[in-house]
Amino acid sequence: MKILIDTQIILWILFDSKKLSNSEKEILISDDNQIICSSISLFEISLKYSMGKLKLKSVTPEELPSLLIKNGYLIKNVKYDVFSTFYKLPLEIHKDPFDRMIIWEAIKNNFSLMTRDREIKKYEKFGLNLT
C-alpha cells in the first residue's frame, strides 16, 4: 500500500518515535507498504523552522531529505495536476493550507494518509483513505 505520512508523523519518526503508536510503527516498517513523504511537508518544516516556530534536534531542514531517504522513505514532489486541481477540495472543514495540500495530494494520487489529526477524517467523504 502507498501511504503518505503527514508532517507531524515525519517529525515523530525523526525526532520522537516514542510518540508513534505500535500500529503506526508496524505500518511504517511493513514491507507491504511504501511510505511516502510529501515535499509539502519539507516546505512546511523549513518555513516553520525559519520563523522560529519549530526546533529540530541538532539538524537543519536541508538535512531532513537525506535522513528520510536513509530510513527507506520515498520523498514525492507534488505534481502540477495536484496544484492545479487543489480548488476542488472543500474548504469548510480544515483551514491549514499545508494539511489541505497533503490531503489533496493523497486523494489525487490514491494514497492512504497516516495522520493523527481528527479533523482530517472528515475528508473521507471526499475520497480520502486513512491508515
CATH, residue 24: 3.40.50.1010
Closest by Cα among 95, 115, 93, 92 to 37: 115
Confidence of residue 57 (pLDDT cuts 50, 70, 90): confident
Confidence of residue 95 (pLDDT cuts 50, 70, 90): confident
| pTM across the whole model | 0.94
Largest CA distance in the chain: 40
* Number of domains into which the chain is organized: 1
Q: Is residue 115 scored above 90 in pLDDT?
A: yes
Name the 3-class secondary structure at 107. Answer: helix
Residue-number span of the structural domain to which 82 is assigned: 2-130
Q: Is residue 13 scored above 80 in pLDDT?
A: yes
In the predicted model, what is the mean pLDDT of residues 83-89?
94
